[in-house]
Amino acid sequence: MSVLAVFARLVEHFADLLTPLFHASAAAAAIVLFTALVRLLVHPLSRAAARGQRARAALQPKIAELRTKHAKDPQRLQKAVLELHAEEKVSPLSGCLPSLLQLPAFFLLYHLFSSSTVGGEVNGLLGHELFAAPLGGRWADALADGGPFGPAGLVYAGLFALVAAVAAFNYRRTKRMMANNPVAVAGAGGDGGPVPGLGALNKVMPFMSFFTLVTVAVVPLAAALYVVTSTTWSAVERAALYQ
């Protein structure tokens, strides 16, 4: 049995459990539940990433001293900075792992609800809906079937409104964090200087949550539910961990 078929069975099992509560939208609720379980699994890594960011910020004064001490010897500076990170058990890029580990779950949902057959059989999950919107459909399908204010279009309108609210919250929080503690988001590479490209990334960072709107618009609704749930979780989680 393929990985996709096993995953389909898992979603169907969750949907069966939730049918008494959510009826025709049980599969959509199952996707939200699955997303929450994934986020719970990676939460320890998110906590570790938050600790790592605080630790990197605390190291900046020592790294500044090393830059002064080894200003004329870049190789010695790089070695000293690496030794400092190893001694303090701090990774310059530790915050990337939680996001990377979530990608397989997203791609599984994307492929599952983009496939007409799974394991040689008709994909029955494509017949499930969130209210009037098929989980295998996209925003373009909703626009073609009733327009933006049709039954399916209103489902997407609700998702877009939620994503916009979360993105606005993230924008304000990120701008405030970068203004109050620029060192914490600056990062440092192995030579004690900024990680290449991180400066440009920091400029874009406050706007990144708004890109979720594009993702929600173009992927199957099931994958969009994963994205919306995960994005909302991230906003609450980061607000709690990065106070």
Per-residue pLDDT reduced to its tens digit, 208-232: 788 999 999 999 999 999 999 999 9
Residue 184: pLDDT band with limits 50, 70, 90: very low
Residue 202: pLDDT band with limits 50, 70, 90: low
pLDDT digits (tens, 9 = 90+) for 46-69: 888 888 777 777 777 887 888 888
Please check whether residue 163 is in contact with residue 228, taking contact to mean a CB–CB distance below 8 angstroms. yes
pLDDT digits (tens, 9 = 90+) for 93-143: 666 777 888 899 999 999 999 999 998 899 999 999 999 999 999 999 999
Going by C-beta distance under 8 Å and a sequence separation of 6 or more, which residues neighbour residue 174? 205, 206
So what's the pLDDT on residue 10?
94
So what's the pLDDT on residue 190?
47
Average pLDDT over residues 182-211: 58
Is the pLDDT at 31 greater than 50? The verdict is yes
Q: Phi/psi class of residue 151: alpha, beta or left (left: φ > 0; alpha: ψ in -120 to 50)? A: alpha
Residue 153 tokens read as 């279009």
Looking at the structure of the chain, the number of domains it has is 1
Domain boundaries, position 175: 3-241
CA distance linking residue 71 with residue 69, whole number of Å:
6
Residue 69 tokens read as 């001490």
CA distance linking residue 19 with residue 26, whole number of Å:
5
Residue 188: pLDDT band with limits 50, 70, 90: very low
CA distance linking residue 93 with residue 96, whole number of Å:
6
Please check whether residue 18 is in contact with residue 33, taking contact to mean a CB–CB distance below 8 angstroms. yes
Strands 133-134 and 121-122: unpaired
pTM for this prediction: 0.81
Q: Phi/psi class of residue 197: alpha, beta or left (left: φ > 0; alpha: ψ in -120 to 50)? A: left
